[in-house]
Amino acid sequence: AQKITQTQPGMFVQEKEAVTLDCTYDTSDPSYGLFWYKQPSSGEMIFLIYQGSYDQQNATEGRYSLNFQKARKSANLVISASQLGDSAMYFCAMREIGANNLFFGTGTRLTVIP
Amino acid sequence: KAGVTQTPRYLIKTRGQQVTLSCSPISGHRSVSWYQQTPGQGLQFLFEYFSETQRNKGNFPGRFSGRQFSNSRSEMNVSTLELGDSALYLCASQEGVFAFFGQGTRLTVV
């Protein structure tokens, strides 16, 4: 079974609007971490935001926020006030505590329209 | 602090050859992981090194190997290259739960 599912291959958003990128995960480990990365065309994976499974509050980092719904096993990324530079691939990933690797979803390509 | 440095950025190799990729992690980080990214398979974990010891390995054939030096720099080697090894190879420098990636090495096998 897929550990991370991203069901949106591509998304479009108008500049200055907010957009939500979906991510669901599957784990039986009670302790895990969820991550979002941005990958521009240059290839580098840029860390955006982290949510621990025991964190009570949703994580926020500037224009990025993570909508964490533990019972539904979802960890959606919300980007507010989209900018042209936000156009990129976005990957959701999970690390189970005790594991030394990340499991990645298939990614969502976000295009910001001027 | 300097970021994660991967060299070279681009490589073109012929089928059957071998290749070595290098990764210098963020200063002070002792854990380095390698990932392969292809359009068909997405991002897949290759292996992870901590203090010169391989701690974890993904599901890749033995042609893929790695090592880590005492200064935490890591190399990965792919022998007997196949066309399907064409990919972006990403190195991650890890501290705690966080992983910070380099720009990757784009390998093309012809």
| Residue-wise pLDDT tens digits, A11-66 | 999 999 999 999 999 999 999 999 999 999 999 999 999 999 999 999 999 999 99
Which chain B residues are Cβ-neighbours of A35 within 8 angstroms?
A: 99
| Residue-wise pLDDT tens digits, B86-104 | 999 999 999 988 999 999 9
Specify whether the backbone of B16 is left (phi greater than 0), alpha (psi in -120 to 50) or beta: left
First CA to last CA across chain A, in angstroms? 38
Which chain A residues are Cβ-neighbours of B96 within 8 angstroms?
A: none
Please tell me the predicted confidence (pLDDT) of residue A98.
78
Residue B1 has pLDDT above 70, yes or no: no
Mean pLDDT of A88-104: 92
Task: Give the burial class of B5: count Cβ atoms within 10 A of its Cβ; 0-12 exposed, 13-18 middle, 19 or more buried.
Answer: middle
Distance from the A54 Cα atom to the nearest Cα atom in chain B, whole angstroms: 14
| Residue-wise pLDDT tens digits, A74-94 | 999 999 999 999 999 999 999
Residues 6+ apart with CB under 8 A from B40: none
DSSP conformational letter for B38: E
Task: Give the burial class of A99: count Cβ atoms within 10 A of its Cβ; 0-12 exposed, 13-18 middle, 19 or more buried.
Answer: middle
Please tell me the predicted confidence (pLDDT) of residue A1.
61
The 3-state DSSP class for residue A48 equals strand
Residue where the block lists tokens 């054939």: B61
Interface of A with B (CB under 8 A): 33, 35, 37, 42-47, 50, 52, 91, 95, 97, 99-107
Task: Flag if A100 and B50 touch (Cβ within 8 Å).
Answer: yes
DSSP bridge pairs for B54? B49
Task: Say if B100 is an interface residue toward chain A (CB within 8 Å).
Answer: yes
**CA geometry: angle A108, B10, B7, nearest 5 deg:** 100
